Amino acid sequence: MRFFKKKSVSPVIPQETSSQIILEGHGSRPISAHARVSHHIIDVPTGEHVKFSKLLSCCQRCFTKENLKEQALLIATISSVVLGIAIGIALRTLKCVGNERVGGCRITREDITYIDFPGQIFINILKMLILPLIVSSIISSLAQLDGQSAGKMGIRALVYYLGTTLLAAILGIILVLTIRPGTRGGTVEINPNSKAAEGRTIDTVLDLFRNLFPENIVEATFRSSGTDLKVNRTFILRPNETRYNITIYTPVVGKRDGINVLGLLLFCIIFGILISRLKEKAIILKHFFEAMLEVVMQLVRIAMVYSPIGVFFLIVAKMLEMDNLGDFVGSLGLYMATVLAGLFIHGFIVLPLLLFAITRINSFKYIRGMSQALVTAFGTGSSSATLPVTYRCVEEKNHIDPRISRFVLPVGATVNMDGTALYEAVAAIYIAQLNGIPLNAVKIIVTSLTSTLASIGAASIPQAGLVTMVIVLNALGLPPEEVRTIYAVDWLLDRFRTAINVFGDSIGCAIVQHLSRKELRVLDDEIAAANVDTNHSATILPVLVPVNADYNSSKPDGNVIDPANHKLFSSTTA
């Protein structure tokens, strides 16, 4: 008993009378504040033993084998990003200008494609899972809801998406008008050989509806509709023999490779709602898509083991592909800082405050639960490719109801582009500042609305925001060719805004779940009541078939019914 020593405690401070701390390794036996652990004395002041106990228990929870195993993938992925940036910058000293190794260089453009190969394999694995994940998740989630509940959840999700996207665009406009990156710093060199993406607002809107209603649902799994502008130059000779040419853009509707996500979403939403209405008639289909979703999620867990390797090679290749690190200084660097500041404010201040104000959820814990998805979004630059990881983080780490996440996330990955809207608003006004074009209040309002709508029409693929950027420039009367001004740094900003897009989708899941808790509770009660009725029927059914003496005696063969298993057996053998 030498480990225990009595201490004189002042009666004025009763909270210091208990100075016993339970340390792991001593079982449930309490030890005093002066404890001998591993032949060392831990001297804990009696007034601080509570803090020490909390700190010790927190450390024990953080460094348990289960917790370290759970966070190993996240730690490995973050480490791969840091190592990829460091090694990519270090290898730039060996980069060749062309495809020939001259002047002591070692890495050609062909070598960069080889370095990028493992990363492309990772992206292909994730893209391979997009189609079965979207189909199974939406149909299985809506099949568990009634039509009225699904409609309310859909309206709440769309209101959240439009509201936060408009907030992001307004925030970007405020920052770019305050910082004015286009009027400061060094000049930006424009490559005259760069080709700007062409596009018009009306064509984008029409493509949106064309893809919503595909002519072939099978074709929608690998191809979508898109409008390209065909350039026709016409030479005209006036009566006064003045010759001039007119450039005419003719819209040509064609097909583009890639999943038609909008068409699949609409088809799966209607399909899932009809399954829920048919109830028992479509129970086999419901179970099929639920089982399919479970299989796909298992495939996602297997694919995520490869994520640190894939992300590492993607980052290294991107660092080597960058032509000039000097693009990150001067006016273009200030533009980057403006976009990143807006993304940080929106992602880590506006959205968490919105989450806490509506749901009272601890925003820091929620962000920590989404860490794996955010890192993957940064590495891939695609909301759709990150969708499998987002499912896992939302459901397993942040405990969102699968009926909500499997409906909200696929829609959000297509239409909720907060980071893209902010980026387009900042970029458009930045280009106007570079060219010395003043913007009045009307044009600023047009910028915010156009950025919001254009971001919704943006495909959730890498650097799609650069294409929809042309729509915003056209709305402001700016030349579309100016997109090449920001192309040098777009690849990096694309990764940051993708992470914010994914985080905004996850916040939407929590908010929609909180606002839909009444509908979910009603559905849970209905399911529980149905299960009780089923179990009750299964329990009392054998009792409702008692041994009837008259019935057994009326059997011509003299057999009777066993009340335990309802089988006929011979009365002679009994």
Q: 552 and 474 share a domain?
A: no
Query: CB-based contacts of 145: which residues, under 8 Å, 6+ apart?
Result: 153, 273, 276, 403, 407, 519, 523
Q: 81 and 43 share a domain?
A: no
Please check whether residue 478 lies inside any domain of the structure.
yes
> pTM higher than 0.85, yes or no?
no
Question: What is the enclosing helix (H) or strand (E) of 443?
Answer: helix 441-457
Q: What does the buried/exposed string (b/e) look like for 320-337 if buried means 16 or more CB atoms within 10 Å of the residue's CB?
A: bebeeeebeebbbbbbbe
Beta carbons of 122 and 311 less than 8 angstroms apart: yes
Please check whether residue 337 lies inside any domain of the structure.
no
Rg, C-alpha atoms of the chain: 32
Mean pLDDT of 85-98: 85
118 pLDDT more than 80: yes
Confidence of residue 513 (pLDDT cuts 50, 70, 90): very high
Please check whether residue 328 lies inside any domain of the structure.
no
Q: Give the C-alpha separation, 394 to 301, whole Å.
A: 14
Among 9-18, 257-266, 455-464, the range scoring the smallest mean pLDDT is: 9-18
CA–centroid distance for 357 within its chain: 22
Residue type for position 200? R
Q: Which of 50-59, 86-95, 167-176, 189-198 has the highest mean pLDDT?
A: 167-176
Q: 21 and 167 share a domain?
A: no
Q: Is residue 13 left, alpha or beta, with left meaning phi > 0 and alpha meaning psi from -120 to 50?
A: beta
Check residues 51 and 397 and name the one with the higher pLDDT.
397
425, two tokens: 């608003």
Beta carbons of 400 and 153 less than 8 angstroms apart: no
Q: 74 and 59 share a domain?
A: no
Check residues 392 and 321 and name the one with the higher pLDDT.
392
Q: Which of 198-202, 501-505, 528-532 has the highest mean pLDDT?
A: 501-505
Mean pLDDT of 221-245: 71
425 pLDDT more than 80: yes
Confidence of residue 72 (pLDDT cuts 50, 70, 90): confident
Q: Give the C-alpha separation, 213 to 204, whole Å.
A: 15
Please check whether residue 326 lies inside any domain of the structure.
no
Cα angle value 59/62/66 (rounded, 5°): 135
Check residues 464 and 206 and name the one with the higher pLDDT.
206
The string of pLDDT tens digits covering residues 255-285 is 888 888 888 888 998 998 899 888 889 999 9
Q: 50 and 114 share a domain?
A: no
Q: What CATH number did the domain enclosing 389 receive?
A: 1.10.3860.10
Check residues 542 and 138 and name the one with the higher pLDDT.
138
**The predicted structure's pLDDT at residue 200:** 63
Please check whether residue 530 lies inside any domain of the structure.
no
Query: CB-based contacts of 516: which residues, under 8 Å, 6+ apart?
Result: 149, 152, 153, 156, 404
7, two tokens: 């201490």
Q: 103 and 54 share a domain?
A: no
Check residues 524 and 350 and name the one with the higher pLDDT.
350
**Average pLDDT of the chain to the nearest whole number:** 76
DSSP state letters, 501-525: HHHHHHHHHHHHHHHTHHHHHHHHH
Q: 29 and 100 share a domain?
A: no
Q: 120 and 30 share a domain?
A: no
* 143, 240, 271 from 275: Cα distances, Å: 5, 71, 6
**The predicted structure's pLDDT at residue 2:** 45
**The predicted structure's pLDDT at residue 235:** 60
Q: 136 and 48 share a domain?
A: no
Among 78-87, 286-295, 321-330, the range scoring the smallest mean pLDDT is: 321-330
Q: 87 and 36 share a domain?
A: no
Please check whether residue 340 lies inside any domain of the structure.
no
Check residues 465 and 163 and name the one with the higher pLDDT.
163
Mean pLDDT of 41-46: 49
Number of domains into which the chain is organized = 3
328 pLDDT more than 90: no
Residue type for position 567? K
Question: What is the enclosing helix (H) or strand (E) of 276?
Answer: helix 261-278
Check residues 444 and 101 and name the one with the higher pLDDT.
444
15 pLDDT more than 80: no
Question: What is the enclosing helix (H) or strand (E) of 378?
Answer: helix 371-380
CA–centroid distance for 514 within its chain: 19
Among 22-31, 167-176, 226-235, 238-247, the range scoring the smallest mean pLDDT is: 22-31
Please check whether residue 334 lies inside any domain of the structure.
no
CA–centroid distance for 140 within its chain: 19
Q: Give the C-alpha separation, 36 to 2, whole Å.
A: 10
**Domain assignment of residue 84, given as a range:** 69-215+224-321+348-524
Q: 248 and 379 share a domain?
A: yes
Q: 134 and 198 share a domain?
A: yes
Please check whether residue 369 lies inside any domain of the structure.
yes
Instruction: State whether residue 567 is helix, strand or coil.
Output: coil
